[in-house]
């Protein structure tokens, strides 16, 4: 599996099988632009998996992109909590949404990162098909100061965990691994083309982000 351009992170491939060509096709003299694939990716070799949208996705948007399985994570719940920190709120929602025991990892911090990776790895294997994970309300209150938003760092950590869980399962060749794509709703309004974040131990997170319109079929 190739690495993503401008990134050290591997790209999740779709678990959905693609039809084989009727006959071998000779390689083109020049590279061809990536073609639309049913999973909402840009093709097997250039499969972007992290997208952003300016506003909330509609059911029609999700259907056109080829997804039937969706998990929603609301970043608005991770901001301004009086009883729980953003890291604790995020961990609780991950456990609830993916269906694992919340005692596995009480916070999205470096202390519990490996436990979260393992829990999500188990949740995305054995199910097959495609899975769209949507982060709602990622836009911070000050759109021009996204890098200073504490909750957005937690969003970036969570994306990192999802990516690591997929990569671990893919490396182990676990059966029926779901094809994972992620959308950051509202993030496109920041004008940023990548998602930057930082773990509490200082490790940086950086992912390229593509417009969700690139996941849609041509008109």
- Give domain limits for the chain: 50-211
Q: What is the pLDDT of residue 48?
A: 86
Tally Cβ neighbours within 10 Å of residue 27: 8
**Residue corresponding to tokens 């039937």:** 68
H or E, element range at 19: none
Distance separating alpha carbons of residues 153 and 134, to the nearest angstrom: 16
**Residue corresponding to tokens 């188990």:** 122
Distance separating alpha carbons of residues 181 and 179, to the nearest angstrom: 7
Q: What is the mean pLDDT of residues 67-85?
A: 87
191 exposed, middle or buried (CB, 10 Å; 0-12, 13-18, 19+)?
A: exposed
The DSSP 8-state label assigned to residue 101 in this structure reads -
Query: What three-state secondary structure class fits 186?
Result: coil
For 47-66, the DSSP string reads: ---EEEESSPPPHHHHHHTT
User: Max alpha carbon distance in the chain (Å)?
Assistant: 62
> Is the pLDDT at 218 greater than 60, yes or no?
yes
Tokens standing for residue 20: 């084989």
Q: Give the start-end residues of each E strand in 58-163.
A: 70-74, 130-136
If phi > 0 it is left, if psi is from -120 to 50 it is alpha, else beta; for residue 55 that is beta
> Is the pLDDT at 24 greater than 80, yes or no?
no
pLDDT tens column, 130-154? 999 999 999 866 555 555 678 999 9
Distance separating alpha carbons of residues 42 and 129, to the nearest angstrom: 17
pLDDT tens column, 97-135? 999 999 999 999 999 999 999 999 999 999 889 999 999
Tokens standing for residue 132: 């769209």
55 or 22: which leads in pLDDT:
55
> Is the pLDDT at 96 greater than 90, yes or no?
yes
Do residues 57 and 134 touch, judged by C-beta distance below 8 A? yes
Distance separating alpha carbons of residues 34 and 27, to the nearest angstrom: 14
Q: Which of 157, 150, 152, 160 is nearest to 189 (CA)?
A: 152
């Amino acid at each position: 599996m190739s690495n993503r351009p401008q990134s050290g992170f591997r790209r999740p491939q779709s678990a959905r099988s693609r039809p084989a060509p009727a006959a071998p096709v000779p390689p083109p003299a020049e590279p061809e632009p990536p073609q639309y694939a049913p999973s909402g990716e840009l093709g097997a070799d250039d499969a972007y998996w992290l997208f952003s949208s300016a506003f909330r996705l509609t059911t029609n948007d999700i259907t056109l992109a080829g997804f039937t399985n969706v998990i929603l994570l609301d970043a608005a719940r991770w901001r301004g909590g009086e009883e729980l920190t953003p890291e604790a709120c995020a961990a609780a929602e991950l456990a609830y949404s993916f269906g694992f025991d919340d005692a596995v990892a009480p916070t999205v911090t470096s202390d519990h990162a490996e436990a979260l990776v393992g829990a999500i790895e188990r949740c995305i294997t054995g199910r097959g098909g495609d899975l769209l994970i949507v982060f709602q309300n990622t836009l911070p209150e000050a759109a021009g100061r996204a890098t200073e938003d504490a909750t957005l760092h937690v969003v970036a950590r969570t994306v990192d965990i999802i990516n690591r869980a997929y990569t671990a399962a893919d490396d182990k060749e676990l059966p029926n691994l779901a094809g994972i794509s992620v959308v950051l709703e509202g993030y496109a309004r920041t004008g940023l083309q990548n998602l930057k974040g930082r773990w509490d131990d200082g490790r940086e997170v950086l992912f390229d982000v593509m417009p969700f319109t690139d996941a849609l079929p041509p008109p």
